[in-house]
Amino acid sequence: MALDNMKTTGFTQVGTTPNRPDGLDKVTGRARFGADVTAPGMLHAVIVRSPHAHARIKRIDTSKAEALAGVKGIVTRADFATGLTGENWNILENVMASDTALYDGHAVAAVAATSALTARDAAKLVEVEYEILPHVTDVDKAMAPDAPVIRAGAADGSVPEGQHPNVVRYHESGHGDVQAGFDEADLVIEDHFTTEATHQGYIEPHACLGILGGDGKGELWCCTQGHWNVQKICAALLGLETANLRVTASEIGGGFGGKTAVFIEPVALALARKTNKPVKLVMPRADVFKATGPTASTSMDIKIGMKKDGTITAAQGVFRLQGGAFPGAPADMTAMCAFAPYALSNVHQVGYDVMSNRPKQAAYRAPGSPMAAFAVESVIDELCGQLGLDPIEVRLKNASKEGTKASYGPTFQRIGLVETLEAAKAHPHYSAPLKPGQGRGISCGFWFNHGGETAVSLALSEDGTAQLAVGTPDIGGSRASMALMAAEELGIPYENIRVTIADTATLGYNEVSHGSRVTYASGLATIEAARDAVKKLCGRAAAKWGIPEDAVKWENGCAVPSGPNAGDFDPLPMAEITANMGATGGPIVGHFEATPEGAGVSFATHIVDAEVDPETGKTSVVRYTVVQDAGKAIHPTYVEGQFQGGAAQGIGWALNEEYIYGDDGRLQNALFLDYRIPVASDLPMIDTVIIEVPNPGHPYGVRGVGETSICPPLAAIANAVSAAAAVRLRQLPMSPPRILEALEQKRDG
């Protein structure tokens, strides 16, 4: 059901594309990111990490390091809280190992010294004696009966009996009778797919500056997607009272999910407490690769049945996700997203969350959905090919619509998948001729989107400008969309809104910037806070005019009588009301605090043309079009940016990016030279089409746009490669050696 205060037409500011409020800071070098602040007397810290994939820590000797001039303090696990349980224990164990190093790069100690070079020298002097244990880094091997156990007792009650202890979570969902569905099909295809772990690849390494005194009061500056989460976790891991730790989010140099997690902040605070000095900790890039972020790697089995007319009769998927040395791989979300684009009578999906000797996986843009889409959309493409059907027509025939019972359970409200498919079909790209050696692929993608705890405050200034405080770090221009929404409601110029990302002491709890929630939830909160302020402004006008509050309405930035019966008064501009705030009742501040739950799901359809070089196996993406439902694009240029960025990350995932582990369990490509994300010369322009099917759960119809854009590229490119070179790659990335191998196999028959 749509909100009764919904506005979908007549916008004066929303939908325009003004310059972002923080533009000047970002192009002049003035913006302050995680590593850009200092404090008087500050120390520099370095973390000592395990070089082994799995090893018992027998002894840590810090005496030589402590003896080095300039070293001020060293911490190990003994310097953190004890008695933690659940996810807090998992996070602490990941932040600083207790008795066992669980992956190559696992933190075991940390040093603070008067300079970064001294800290680096001292870290090398910390002696750690290890007893090497057997390890496993592959998901299928980690589930095998003879696999080493990462940690006994880590599984929860969801896991069926008979599974290896490394299987720690289990998900199963669906409806109908898949066997009956497969029996009805004219063609059933079943295939196995794998994807390698990838890293979010933000260009800014994790960085923070921590201050913590003997009184248990502290301050923390860090690059994070969510500083209230950092506050809560650091307080738990250090045994502090939450309110005594004030956390400020710096500008953030990319996150993509990877900065929703906590890695170094508790370490900096522990060192600050131990040394009684501010401590700065900046991760080297190799540490970022080894100890933060990556996605789960996957092993998947997909079976889909189709009739000759393109009707999907049944779909079934098994998704095994390797999530590193802790529970948490998004096996459930992978399974739930897999078949969401399709209205299916018979569907069944199973997910396994599997531990291995790799870093604890972290969210990466629509966690799990891109991998599932790769497998499912590849099989649908094969079915279309073998049955001689157009891939867009088949998807239209089976597309989820309003009222469809989703593959993962609920019934869809108004959604825009059909609109994206129709727009893709009508786009000149879809009918453009291809050159020899090129192939075209398409794919759909789905993400849930999210609401979450949100608090916003909008304080009006005496000159009629407004200060908007939000709690969601601005990852990609969200200050601009927040200012647009506030300006729209208040009826004042966009430039008169100053947006600040408030610290944890200023607002109530804000969930992290994740789940494509910022424009949806902080946007909704901004609109509601502005409406709250408007109500108060109208009240001041009513008092001045001596008429009831409900006889005043707000129009074009002014209070006006709501009708002829209310009286005859000249419009009262906001600045005239705020100029006298102190004398008419005090400061005017609009608030909104809630957990919005109407985040509308989002779908996309991507079209890609690829060219495969038969001699080198290199795949080039020559044309790319993203069509996605944004619900309502608040700042269309930044919506396009999200579409393009997701597509580019998906291209990297599809073609190049992968974590490569040696037989010794060590990560072999922990730098950007060897973990190659797309560079400018790898990519074409990325065309975008914004579809606007309003989300009934947002006052302007907004749907989150950040994540869905990474879901289709993996499959779209695999389908294009299949069309270009007549080889079906079921393993990502489709790197040149894998393509060459597939071409050779085809030649050899």
Partner 1 sequence: MSKIHVTTTVNGDEVEFLCDPRETVLDVLRDRLGMTGSKEGCGTGDCGACSITLDGRLVCSCLVLGAEAEGREIETVEGIATGEDLHPLQQKFIEYAALQCGICTPGILVATKALLEKNPDPTETEVRYWLAGNLCRCTGYDKIIRAVMDTAADMREAS
Enumerate binding residues for partner 1 (CB under 8 A): 17, 19-20, 22-33, 35-36, 115-117, 200-205, 251-256, 282, 284-285, 475-477, 637-638, 640-641, 644-645, 647-649, 671-673, 677-683, 685-686
**Cα angle 9, 12, 17; round to 5:** 110
Structure tokens that stand for 327 in this block: 């529970």
Nearer to partner 1, 82 or 115 (CB): 115
Smallest distance, partner 1 to C-beta of residue 198, A: 12
Per-residue DSSP letters for 302-326? EEEEE-TTS-EEEEEEEEEEE--SS
Composition of the chain by helix, strand, coil, percent to 5 = 35, 25, 45
Nearer to partner 1, 24 or 132 (CB): 24
Task: Report the phi/psi class of residue 29: left, alpha or beta, with left for phi > 0 and alpha for psi in -120 to 50.
Answer: left
Nearer to partner 1, 560 or 683 (CB): 683
Smallest distance, partner 1 to C-beta of residue 44, A: 9
Smallest distance, partner 1 to C-beta of residue 581, A: 33
The identity of residue 662, as a single letter, is G
Smallest distance, partner 1 to C-beta of residue 68, A: 13
Smallest distance, partner 1 to C-beta of residue 686, A: 5
Nearer to partner 1, 124 or 192 (CB): 124
**Cα angle 512, 517, 522; round to 5:** 85
Nearer to partner 1, 282 or 304 (CB): 282
Nearer to partner 1, 650 or 697 (CB): 650
Nearer to partner 1, 381 or 657 (CB): 657
- Residue with the two structure tokens 């690829």: 610
Residue 731 is given by DSSP the state: B
Nearer to partner 1, 242 or 637 (CB): 637
Half-sphere exposure of 321 (CA within 13 A, CB side): 35
Structure tokens that stand for 76 in this block: 């190990």
The identity of residue 91, as a single letter, is I
Distances (CA, A) of 74 to 63, 112, 669: 10, 6, 29
Nearer to partner 1, 202 or 554 (CB): 202
Smallest distance, partner 1 to C-beta of residue 22, A: 8
- Going by C-alpha positions, the residue among 2, 1, 11 that lies closest to residue 699 is 2
Smallest distance, partner 1 to C-beta of residue 640, A: 8
For residue 636, with 0-12 CB atoms within 10 Å meaning exposed, 13-18 middle and 19 or more buried, which class applies?
middle
Nearer to partner 1, 537 or 648 (CB): 648
Nearer to partner 1, 18 or 573 (CB): 18
Smallest distance, partner 1 to C-beta of residue 657, A: 11
CB 312 within 8 A of CB 320: no
- Going by C-alpha positions, the residue among 226, 273, 208, 219 that lies closest to residue 246 is 219
Q: CA 552 from chain center: how many Å?
A: 43
Please tell me the distance from the alpha carbon of residue 353 to that of residue 368, in angstroms, as a whole number. Answer: 11
User: For the chain, how many residues are written?
Assistant: 749
Please tell me the distance from the alpha carbon of residue 625 to that of residue 607, in angstroms, as a whole number. Answer: 5
Structure tokens that stand for 331 in this block: 């096996």
**Cα angle 322, 325, 329; round to 5:** 40
Please tell me the distance from the alpha carbon of residue 572 to that of residue 569, in angstroms, as a whole number. Answer: 8
Distances (CA, A) of 515 to 363, 411, 519, 704: 9, 20, 11, 8
Task: Please report which helix (H) or strand (E) contains residue 530, including its range.
Answer: helix 523-545
Neighbours of 731 (CB within 10 A): 17
Smallest distance, partner 1 to C-beta of residue 680, A: 4
- Residue with the two structure tokens 């294009």: 720
* Residues ≥6 apart with Cβ < 8 Å to 473: 224, 225, 226, 227, 249, 252, 255, 501, 513
Smallest distance, partner 1 to C-beta of residue 649, A: 7
* Residues ≥6 apart with Cβ < 8 Å to 9: none
Nearer to partner 1, 515 or 596 (CB): 515
Nearer to partner 1, 294 or 464 (CB): 294
Smallest distance, partner 1 to C-beta of residue 31, A: 6
Smallest distance, partner 1 to C-beta of residue 97, A: 25
Please tell me the distance from the alpha carbon of residue 340 to that of residue 408, in angstroms, as a whole number. Answer: 7
Nearer to partner 1, 411 or 681 (CB): 681
Smallest distance, partner 1 to C-beta of residue 220, A: 19
Nearer to partner 1, 399 or 518 (CB): 518
Helices marked H in 294-436: 331-338, 369-387, 391-398, 417-426, 428-431
Smallest distance, partner 1 to C-beta of residue 616, A: 18
Nearer to partner 1, 42 or 392 (CB): 42
Structure tokens that stand for 487 in this block: 């300006």
Smallest distance, partner 1 to C-beta of residue 222, A: 14
- C-alpha radius of gyration, the chain, whole number: 27
Strand order in the sheet with 100-101: 100-101, 55-61, 127-132
Smallest distance, partner 1 to C-beta of residue 196, A: 18
Phi, psi of 608 (to 5 degrees): -140, 140
Nearer to partner 1, 116 or 318 (CB): 116
Smallest distance, partner 1 to C-beta of residue 699, A: 24
- Going by C-alpha positions, the residue among 120, 100, 102 that lies closest to residue 110 is 120
